[in-house]
Every structure is written in C-alpha cells, then in structure tokens.
C-alpha cells in the first residue's frame, strides 16, 4: 500500500479544531482560505505519494555517491523528482510574494512538509535546508543579498545549507574555528572545515548557497565572535547567474545508519569567497533564525516518520494472519485471524495513533501561533503567538522525535521478524527517524533550552500564558458531561506540569544542575500536557460534529482514540513529575571515573 | 577502547550477592568453585575482547555471502575465530561430561555468553544455536542419537539450528506445513520451506544439525500434530563422520537491519532425510526446551548489547569536550569540559548503568535457580528453582531486550551526531540489539506467555513463591537503617505488582482480552520489581563490605547507582500499574477498519 497522505486529518485540524477561517481577514492569510489550503494539501499529498514515496527505498539502498572531483550524485530519480518539485512551485510555498513565493502561512508549510518527509525524508531535507537559508537571508541579509538570493531559493533553482558544525565543535559553537578574513572589496575569505552538512553537495540545483558560521579575524572568543556568511558554490556573476566555482568543496560523505538519500558532507572552505550576512559578530541570532526553522522541521519529521511507520504497521497487521482472537475467531474462514485482533498489537497501534494525531495537532497549533506572531494586528495575539512558538519549539522538536522513534520501533515490532528484514519499509523508517533526535541540537540540548532559557524568558510570560489558556479552557469545561474526561485529563496533566515548574523554580536556584537533571523529563511532561490539550480540543470538535448529526465514523474514531490517550498515555505525567522531583543529586553523585 | 569484560561485576554477583560457594556441596557444582568460575570468566572475557570483539565491525560491514552452490561464507576472520573457540573448549562449557562437556552450571554459561554477545553478537549466535540443539537432543533424543550428535555439538565440530518458522507461520505454529513422510528404515523424508533460520548455513563446521519441526503425514491439525526431527546437512556415515549431502539447502539470506555477520537463511527441505526426536506429535515440548534455552540466550543479548553500547557511550562522554559544567569548569585547562559533566548526559548513562547492572543480576539469579531446579537434592529448593526459571524466562527475555534497545539508543544519543555515523560502533549495537525484541517469540508473545500461562501455572505457585520470598526479605529488613530505602523501594514495587496481579485475577475472567491488553505493562512491572529485588541485595552486599572496612570504590559506586535506580527508575512501576488497570476496553474499542 503506498503512503496515504493524511489530508483528511489536516482538514479536520485546520477547519474544525484550529478554525483557520477565523483569520481570513488578515492580509497574511488572504490567499489561505480553507478551501485553497485543502486544495494545496491535496496536491502536496498527491506529489508525496506519487513522486516522492516511490523513491524512498531507492534512496535508502543507493545512497549518494561522492566522486573525486568533489561532486555528489543523488540517488536515481531524485533529480527528476526535484525538477518536478520545482516545476510545481513547492519550494516557494512559504516564501514572500515579492521574491516569487506563494506566501502561504507557516502552518500550511508544516502540513506539506509532513507529507514530504513521510514519503521520503532524505529527499525532503534538500528543499528543507533551502528554507532555512531563505529565512536567514530574509531576516538578516542586505537588500542586494535578498534580491540576488531569495528568488533563486524560492524558485528552487538554487538550494541552501547550514554550515555550522566542525569536528571539535557541535553544540558548543563557542569553540568554532573557521575563520573569515576581510577583503578590500567588502567580501571575506573563509577557511575551515565543516562536518555533517546535510545536503551540502548534490546534483539537484545549479547552485548551492552555504550559510556559514565563521569567526572574523580578531573577533572576540566564544559565541560573541561568530558571524554568518553567504558562501555560494558558484559565485553569482553580474547577471546573477552562477559564475566562477568558489573554493568550497565536499571532501566526502558520512556513512550513516539512515537518511542514505541525503548527502551528509564534509565541507572544506579553502579561502572561499563569502559575504557577511547582517552585522559582524552577530551571526548567532541569525543562526537561530535558521535553527528554529530547522527545529520545527525536525519536529515535523518526528510526526512524519511515525505516521509512515504506523501506516506500514497497520497494513501488515491487517494482512498477516496468525493466531486467533481471544474473543473468538474474527476470520473464521481463514487459517487464522489478522494480527490486528490481538490486544498487544493494538496497544502498539493505538499508542502510535493517539500520540501522532495529537502531535500533529500540537505542531499545527504552534505553527499557527507562529503565523499570528508575525501577522496578527492584535499586539497581544501576536505576542502570545511569538511566545508559544519560542516556548514550544524545543518541546516539539525533542518530544515528537523521541516519540516518533519509539512509534517506528513499535511499528517494527508489529511486523515481527519481517520488520527486521529490509524487504519491508519499516526498517528504513526506524533508521531514518533516529537522526531526528540528534540533529539541529540533540534532544538533550532542546530540553536545556526549554528549562534554561525558554521558561524564564520575559519573566516566564510564555508558560504563564499557556497555563492561563489551559486554565480558562478547563474552567469553561466545553462540551459538558461528554467532554468531562478530556477536560479532567488535561487539568491533571497541567497540574503535574505546574507542580514540576514550581518545584524547579524552588530548587534550581540553589543548584545549577537541578534544571539540567530534570530537563528531559520536564520537557516530556510539557509535551504530554500539550497533547492532552490537543485531545481535549479534538474531542470537543468531534463530539460537536456527532451531536450535530454527522455520521462519518471519523469523528467517533477521534473520540475513541482520545479516550485511549487519557487511559493509557496520560498516566505517564505522574512518572515524569516524580523523576523531575528526584533532583540532581542521584544523577550527579557518581564520580566520572566510576562509570 | 576495546570491550571491557565485566568480570569484576560477575565476581561480585556470584561471590558476594548470590553466594555461589553455598552450593559447592552439590555434585553439579563440584567443578564450579568460585575460584574456578572466576578463572573461566577471566578467560572467556579475554577471548571475547581479544578474538571476538575485533571481528564485530568486520561482520557488520561484510555480512555473509551466499553462493549459487547454496553455500554461505561467513565474514573474514569468523572461521579462524570459531576454530580458536573450539580449540579452547568453549562450545562444551555447559555440556554433560559424558559427552565431552565441562558440565559447568548454567549460571556460568550465562555470564560467558554475555561477554561473547557483547563482543560480537552475530558470531555468538552460531555456538548459541548449537546449545539449543544440544538441549533438545539431550532432553528428547534416543541414546543412539545422543551418542552420535551430542559429542559433536559439545566439541563444536558440528553446529546446530532451530528450523521452526515458515513464511505463513511464525508465532502460530499450528499453521505449520512442512511434512514428514515415514520410511521403511525408520527415517523420514522432510519437505518444506523454513525461513529466518539463524546460522542456518555457514562455513564454520563440518556439519550442521538442523532441528526441524514438521508434521508427519496424517498427523492431527494444529500444534498437536507437530513432531521434531534431526536433519543433518551431511548424513553421518557408519563411523559417525559426515557422509552424503542431505537435500537440505540454503536458498538465500535475508537482508537485515543488523546482525549482518550471522546468516539468516531460507532453508529448503526437499525430501531431506531426517530422524524423529522423541515421540510422534510431541515435538512442541521439545521445541520449548530449545526455545527456553534460546529465550534466556536472547535475554543475555539484551544485557550484553546494553553493556557494549554503554561502554562506548562512557568512552565518548569522557573524551568529547563540549560546553562547561553548570557547576564550574571541570577541565579548566582544556577548551571545554568532557560531556560526562552534563546532567542530561549522566541521566542517560546512569539509566543504563542502573538497569543493566541489575538486569545482569536478575539473569544470573534466575539462571542459578535454573541450575538448582536441576541439581538441588532439596525438593522444595529444586521446585522453586524450576518455578522461577519458568516464570522469569519471558520476563527476562522481553524486559531486558526492550531495555537493552533503549539503552543502546540512549548510548547513541550520548554520541550526538557521531553516533549516527558508522564511524562509531554504537550504530551497530543499536541495530543488532533490535532483533532481540523480536526473535524467539516477540516480546508481546513473551508477555502473553507470562500472563496467559506462567502466572496461573500450578495454581500460581511460582509467583506466590516470589512474593513470599520478597515479603520475607522486606520483613527481615536486612542491613538496618542504611538499607531502608532499598527495602522500601522493593516493597513499593512489589505492592504495585501485587495490585496489578490481583486486578488481573479479578478482571481477566470476564474478558479474555484484559490479560492481553495488560500483558506488556504487567511484564515490565515484574521486570522492574525483579530489578528492585536485585538492587536491594546488591546494595546490602556492598554496604556489608563497606561496613567491614573495604575501601574499593566499587562498593560505593554500587550504592550510588542503586540509589539512582530508586529515585529515577522505580517511579515507573506506578505508571505500569495504571496502564494495566486501564483495562482492555480502550485498547480494543476502535474497529479495525478505522485505524
């Protein structure tokens, strides 16, 4: 069975849960009527299923090939698919109209990206990286840089990358060594080696625009001396066309556990010509523009791979005949029942469904707030939008990728021995999904970002806003008696999260390691609370439809899945709270040499 | 850093926790004085580290090669290593003396096997499968069969396999089709296709003894019509030497996510000559002799791969410099601190250490009970030994492999981006460890075995015995005040397990799906309780040493790790209990077509 794009799910969320049409009056949403958006998603789903999905296994098996002339060939079919992708205008979905984009809200981009990643994550990373480069130049570039690069990135003619990591310097960017020497003409010469550069070299586009972190000669040590540069593979000539080859080259590819179809490059800058983006020594904020874009993109990958793996597991569980239902044969004329009758198989499928459907909602909810943060004329709405986007970015990135990997693993488990063989697609989903927990800041780094920066930002305004919103929802008790379990479940999760927050506030001051020791469990607690809030809203929307006489079983399934979430996923919040409150001492007590 | 055999850990467990010397008076332990055992483990550790470990990566990269003459070549170096393994006498470690074995207790075999698997799981599976074949023939074979096959298996000259699975028939052996036609000479002709046969064909031994499940013509349908056969690759001649080639052949190898160095074969029996083992239609009990042996072996793999991955993570965390400790620089002269200073990195390392050290203890504790079940002259001790072995086999298999995979994943996470590349060994550990959750009965099948059969066997005697033992331990409160947290933690875990058990007893009668829906969470709850019991005993032993003036920091580290377990692992029991008590309804409510 090919990939089934979850367009129906998106439509439910955008139309019936998030109420996208409420924002139709905003200029930024002018071209995003719900009907238009649904058409876009239908098209994107078709492209993902028909063009990208069939190449997923090809990409995994062939991988990318590096040649001694420093070129990299993508897997068979990727170039043609990319051309079709450009032809259809997908690269510019969220780009500004003045640079040739369609300027659709970010929430639409998230939905489209999910389908691309579910169908072919390694492929989707190529345009995904370009979007980060676009964002950095759009935020920090000069008008000239914008005019030169943004139309090419929006059209997909050129691709982008992020050149951050160096062999000795990953999370700790203060250790960065790549240097930039100013030239008389205002350009810089960039020298240094970068590693793990996704989509760092390939044959999909006429040019590749590297966004490179480097240290200008004489800059301060640490992260305060880092600047951001544009280093194009081919130097644009006077007409803006790719001209002379720049001395930036791919020295080789990493051999990896997954995402074989995406080129993970060692990139050498050997006095490469580059141009400063924004101000000297102010590269880090711009890097975070790219990084936050990328982190939401990785969160999307978590949901996407979970859905791909879940779909594969469902198909297998419906077809594989083995054993009989404990409540009597369900396929009496066959030699055995399909394994979907077995409670422990269903447990895994329901876990996946309950988490991924709410995870998808949580992503769209946050992305919509991000859009409002940029577009709402109501200052309070805009502020809350930006607050939520900042607060939830690390939560979504880490929580959804941790869960995505576990869902992919459960999907493999549903397959039994078949799942471990490469005859079935689930091994690739599991292997591909694993990187999402690591790149663009490991999930541990996300957790530190959450507890170390995001909670305290602006006096804790973002989290307080979230608590207030949830409290108001609970107090309103929407949906009456039938929704009570959802409202109570949400209230319980929020209470656990609030208790964990208060505990952190009381204890983290006296011991700086308390927050670090609690960070991952705190993040998961917030993720679960977010899902509980989404389930409450989805259940309310579904119940509303049913009460109004809607007979589509889709709505009943939503309620059933939501009730599973309450009964069998949400008990985890208490455990997370207990682990948070265990404090730093147990974690830090063992001397390093005694491990 | 090469693999570090945990001989010190084994010595602590066998000598100071399990008190192996208490059994020195039993004939079966006559040659297993603690000093002898420690020497054996030292030797086994050396062999694993020096011979097997260097071949692990080779096996992963090369895999096995199938040829059109139906032969299979193992990776470079495997044959020489196997010859050395035979030369050193390792295949016969647990085999009976009359067949050339060393007749050491099973608990020693478990420890040896852990080191073999940690060093090279794909290699260790070859002799591992032979041990299962040995056990089946030893339990069910005729004297003639024993005389012919057991010495060859004990010496390692010949290898063994289990031929169970067919394409349409995995867990549900009642669907088995391979047929056996009786011949006038008392032999049978076996025809059918078997899949996923680990070590099914290779170049390590002169002969391969397949133990094959098949259905004798006219046998009853379902599992009551299954018999077990010996089908050797080469038919033994009159002198017992390998003679004519039997018509059993390997049609190909599976391409898999991991354990590339082990040949996973499609095996065709084309009127192959075979001999019945035991009685007609009584193959299943003998299959379970092999299977239970194999399940303990797979549980060992869970711990082994966890340790291998943990060791790799420790090494990386000590060497990788990134960021500064939140409590002030720990490596002030370096550019950054080693990442082992960061609380979230330590959280993952401590989780691994706390679970794998107690998991190892739980395995040895159970294996020792298995030995007493066979060897103790005290009928009550022997009965309890057999009870515990039966009860804990599914728990150990599923719990330790689930946890082993998560530990391997955390170990990858400690590595950051490096871990996802194949430059570091942790990707292989993660990929190899994943199969252990699947084969020899998926972990869901283990959970069903536990709740559906093992709990109720003999009127629940085994579990009641375990509860009584834990209650007595708690009541005795060994170690006084310093041990109180361990005793209380154990009491709390056991109370949760007991509550889950009572809940199951009350609710499973009215709805057959209740036990299935609860099974995996119940199993994990029992696993956690087992670990809590082990930590109580380990802490008590360590505290005893410290109180007696012992200054080896090993003992303090045990207490610190145990306290981590109490504070940060054990809170999970309440969540498992809540999930058990959620019942079957949420799991089963969604119609299959609405997934």
From chain B, pick out residues whose CB is under 8 angstroms from the CB of A595: 314, 317-318, 340, 349, 353
Q: How far is B503 from chain A (nearest CA, A)?
A: 16
From CA B289, how far away is CA B136, in angstroms rounded?
A: 6
Residue found under tokens 């002169």: B206
pLDDT at A229 over 90: yes
Active-site annotation holds for B319: no
CB B420, CB A438: distance < 8 Å:
yes
From CA B339, how far away is CA B336, in angstroms rounded?
A: 9
CB B504, CB B515: distance < 8 Å:
yes
From chain B, pick out residues whose CB is under 8 angstroms from the CB of A434: 409, 412, 420, 430
Interface test with A, best of B336, B420, B426 (most A CBs within 10 A): B420
Using a 10 angstrom Cβ sphere, with 0-12 exposed, 13-18 middle and 19 or more buried, the burial of residue B22 is exposed
Residue found under tokens 């711990």: B303
Q: If you measure CA to CA, which chain A residue comes closest to B320?
A: A168
Q: Are residues B571 and A572, on separate chains, in Cβ contact within 8 Å? A: no
Could you tell me if A463 and A567 lie in one domain? yes
- Which has the closest alpha carbon to A117: A434, A431, A432? A432
From chain B, pick out residues whose CB is under 8 angstroms from the CB of A345: 444
Average pLDDT, chain A: 97
So what's the pLDDT on residue B393?
98
**Domain count along chain B:** 3
> Least CB-CB distance to A350: which of B405, B421, B587?
B587
Using a 10 angstrom Cβ sphere, with 0-12 exposed, 13-18 middle and 19 or more buried, the burial of residue A307 is buried
Which one of A281, A315, A345 terminates a domain?
Answer: A281
In a domain, A549, yes or no: yes
Contacts with B563 (C-beta within 8 Å, 6 or more apart), sequence order: A586, A589, B485
From chain B, pick out residues whose CB is under 8 angstroms from the CB of A344: 444, 447-448, 516-517, 519-520
Dihedral sign, CA of A318, A320, A326, A327? positive
Query: Per-residue pLDDT tens for A526-566?
Result: 999 999 999 999 999 999 999 999 999 999 999 999 999 99
In the predicted model, what is the mean pLDDT of residues A400-404? 98
DSSP B234: E
CB B442, CB B462: distance < 8 Å:
no
Could you tell me if A136 and A207 lie in one domain? no
Q: How far is A350 from chain B (nearest CA, A)?
A: 7
From CA B33, how far away is CA B15, in angstroms rounded?
A: 10
Q: How far is B171 from chain A (nearest CA, A)?
A: 7
SS3 A334: coil
Dihedral sign, CA of A215, A221, A223, A224? negative
So what's the pLDDT on residue A31?
86
Could you tell me if B216 and B82 lie in one domain? no
Looking at the DSSP assignment, which residues form a beta bridge with residue B229?
B212, B276
Segments of chain B with pLDDT less than 50: none
In a domain, A355, yes or no: no
Dihedral sign, CA of B57, B58, B64, B65? positive
Which one of B249, B281, B313 terminates a domain?
Answer: B281
Could you tell me if A468 and A567 lie in one domain? yes
From CA B133, how far away is CA B231, in angstroms rounded?
A: 11
Could you tell me if A169 and A277 lie in one domain? yes
What domain range is A222 assigned to?
A: 158-281
CB B437, CB A413: distance < 8 Å:
yes
Query: Per-residue pLDDT tens for A281-295?
Result: 999 999 999 999 999
Query: Per-residue pLDDT tens for A357-398?
Result: 999 999 999 999 999 999 999 999 999 999 999 999 999 999
In DSSP notation, B528-558 reads HHHHHHHHHHHHHHHHHHHHTT---HHHHHH
CATH code at position B100: 1.10.540.10
Q: How many residues does the structure list for chain B?
A: 595
Could you give the residue ranges of the DSSP H alpha helices within A512-571? Answer: 512-547, 553-564
Rg (CA), chain A: 24
From CA A282, how far away is CA A274, in angstroms rounded?
A: 16
From chain A, pick out residues whose CB is under 8 angstroms from the CB of B419: 438
State the DSSP H helix or E strand holding residue B428, giving kind and residue range, or none if neither.
helix B426-434
Could you tell me if A194 and A94 lie in one domain? no
Relative orientation angle of helices B343-375 and B379-415, to the nearest 10 degrees: 160
Q: How far is A252 from chain B (nearest CA, A)?
A: 13
Q: How far is A423 from chain B (nearest CA, A)?
A: 7
From CA A304, how far away is CA A315, in angstroms rounded?
A: 17
Interface test with B, best of A586, A593, A594 (most B CBs within 10 A): A586
In a domain, A222, yes or no: yes
Could you tell me if B174 and B69 lie in one domain? no
pLDDT at A510 over 90: no
Residue found under tokens 């050396």: B46
Residue found under tokens 């269903």: A346
> Least CB-CB distance to B257: which of A172, A420, A437?
A420
> Least CB-CB distance to A323: which of B172, B520, B583?
B172
pLDDT bin (cut points 50, 70, 90) of residue A204 is: very high
Looking at the DSSP assignment, which residues form a beta bridge with residue B245?
B234
For chain A, percent of residues with pLDDT exceeding 90? 96
In a domain, A37, yes or no: yes
SS3 A203: coil
Q: If you measure CA to CA, which chain B residue comes closest to A561?
A: B590
From CA B179, how far away is CA B194, in angstroms rounded?
A: 12
How many contacts (CB atoms, under 8 Å) link A and B?
268
DSSP A460: G
DSSP A569: I
SS3 A48: helix
In a domain, B59, yes or no: yes
Interface test with B, best of A343, A448, A555 (most B CBs within 10 A): A343
Query: Per-residue pLDDT tens for A113-143?
Result: 999 999 999 999 999 999 999 999 999 999 9
From CA B196, how far away is CA B266, in angstroms rounded?
A: 6
- Which has the closest alpha carbon to A178: A233, A249, A226? A226
From chain B, pick out residues whose CB is under 8 angstroms from the CB of A258: 420
Per annotation, catalytic residue among B440, B469, B513, B572: B440
Q: How far is B90 from chain A (nearest CA, A)?
A: 29
Could you tell me if A125 and A187 lie in one domain? no
From CA A426, how far away is CA A418, in angstroms rounded?
A: 9
> Least CB-CB distance to A417: which of B317, B421, B438?
B438
From chain B, pick out residues whose CB is under 8 angstroms from the CB of A346: 517, 587-588, 590
In a domain, A498, yes or no: yes
Which one of A86, A105, A140 terminates a domain?
Answer: A140
Q: Are residues A335 and B168, on separate chains, in Cβ contact within 8 Å? A: yes
Dihedral sign, CA of A406, A411, A412, A416? positive
Could you tell me if A91 and A181 lie in one domain? no
In a domain, B437, yes or no: no
pLDDT bin (cut points 50, 70, 90) of residue A226 is: very high
In DSSP notation, A275-291 reads EEESSTT-HHHHHHHHH
Query: Per-residue pLDDT tens for A12-29?
Result: 999 999 999 999 999 889
Could you tell me if A23 and A66 lie in one domain? yes
Could you tell me if A190 and A63 lie in one domain? no
CB B359, CB B324: distance < 8 Å:
no
Q: If you measure CA to CA, which chain A residue comes closest to B440?
A: A417
From chain A, pick out residues whose CB is under 8 angstroms from the CB of B408: none
From CA A490, how far away is CA A481, in angstroms rounded?
A: 15
Could you tell me if B27 and B126 lie in one domain? yes
CATH code at position B163: 2.40.110.20
So what's the pLDDT on residue B479?
84
In a domain, B534, yes or no: yes
From CA B306, how far away is CA B167, in angstroms rounded?
A: 31
From CA A324, how far away is CA A326, in angstroms rounded?
A: 6
Tokens read off for A560: 């059933």
User: Checking phi first, is residue B258 left (phi over 0); if not, alpha (psi -120 to 50) or beta?
Assistant: beta
Q: Are residues B421 and A322, on separate chains, in Cβ contact within 8 Å? A: no
């Amino acid at each position: 069975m090919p990939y089934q794009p979850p367009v129906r799910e998106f439509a439910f969320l955008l139309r019936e849960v998030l109420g996208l049409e409420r924002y139709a009056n905003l200029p930024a949403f002018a071209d995003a009527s719900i009907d238009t958006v649904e058409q876009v998603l239908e098209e994107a789903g078709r492209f993902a299923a028909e063009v990208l999905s069939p190449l997923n296994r090809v990409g995994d098996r062939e991988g990318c090939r590096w040649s001694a002339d420093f070129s990299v060939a993508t897997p068979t079919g990727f170039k043609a698919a990319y051309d079709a992708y450009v032809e259809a205008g997908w690269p510019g979905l969220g780009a500004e109209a003045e640079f040739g984009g369609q300027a659709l809200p970010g929430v639409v981009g998230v939905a489209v990206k999910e389908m691309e990643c579910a169908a072919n994550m390694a492929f989707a990373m190529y345009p995904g990286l370009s979007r980060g480069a676009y964002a950095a130049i759009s935020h920090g570039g000069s008008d000239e840089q914008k005019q030169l690069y943004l139309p090419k990135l929006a059209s997909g003619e050129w691709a982008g990358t992020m050149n951050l990591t160096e062999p000795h310097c990953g999370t700790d960017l203060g250790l960065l060594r790549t240097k930039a020497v100013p030239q008389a003409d205002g350009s810089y010469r960039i020298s240094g080696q970068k590693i793990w550069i996704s989509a760092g070299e390939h044959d999909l586009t006429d040019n590749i625009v590297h966004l490179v972190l480097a240290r200008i000669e004489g800059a301060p040590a640490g992260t305060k001396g880092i600047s951001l540069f544009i280093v194009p593979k081919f130097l644009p000539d006077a007409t803006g066309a790719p001209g002379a080859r720049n001395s930036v080259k791919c020295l080789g590819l990493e051999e990896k556990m997954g995402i074989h179809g995406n080129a993970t490059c060692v990139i050498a800058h050997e006095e490469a010509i580059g141009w400063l983006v924004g101000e000297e020594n102010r590269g880090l904020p711009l890097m975070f523009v790219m990084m936050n874009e990328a982190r939401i993109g990785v969160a999307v990958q978590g949901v996407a791979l979970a859905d791909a793996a879940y779909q594969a597991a469902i198909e297998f569980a419906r077809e594989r005949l083995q054993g009989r239902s404990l409540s009597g044969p369900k396929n009496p004329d066959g030699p055995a029942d399909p394994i979907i009758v077995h409670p422990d198989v269903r447990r895994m499928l329901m876990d996946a469904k309950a988490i991924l459907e709410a995870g998808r909602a949580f992503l769209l909810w946050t992305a919509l707030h991000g859009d409002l943060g940029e577009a709402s004329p109501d200052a309070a709405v805009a502020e809350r939008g930006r607050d939520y986007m900042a607060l939830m970015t690390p939560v979504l990135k880490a929580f959804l990728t941790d869960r995505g990997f576990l869902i992919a693993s459960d999907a493999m488990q549903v397959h039994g021995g078949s799942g471990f063989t490469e005859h079935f697609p689930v091994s690739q989903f599991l292997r591909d999904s694993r990187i999402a927990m690591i790149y663009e800041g490991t999930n541990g780094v996300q957790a530190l970002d959450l507890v170390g920066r995001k909670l305290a930002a602006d006096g804790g305004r973002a989290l307080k806003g979230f608590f207030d919103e949830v409290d108001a929802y609970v107090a309103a008790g929407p949906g009456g008696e039938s929704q009570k379990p959802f409202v109570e479940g949400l209230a319980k999760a929020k209470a656990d999260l609030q208790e964990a927050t208060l505990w952190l506030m009381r204890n983290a001051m006296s011991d700086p390691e308390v927050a670090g020791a609690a960070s991952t469990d705190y993040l998961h607690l917030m993720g679960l609370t977010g899902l509980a809030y989404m389930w409450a809203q989805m259940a309310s929307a579904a119940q509303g439809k049913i009460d109004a006489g809607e007979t589509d079983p889709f709505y009943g399934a939503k309620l059933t899945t939501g009730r599973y979430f309450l009964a069998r996923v949400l008990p985890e919040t208490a455990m997370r709270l207990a682990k948070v409150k265990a404090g730093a001492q147990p974690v830090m007590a063992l001397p390093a040499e005694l491990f």
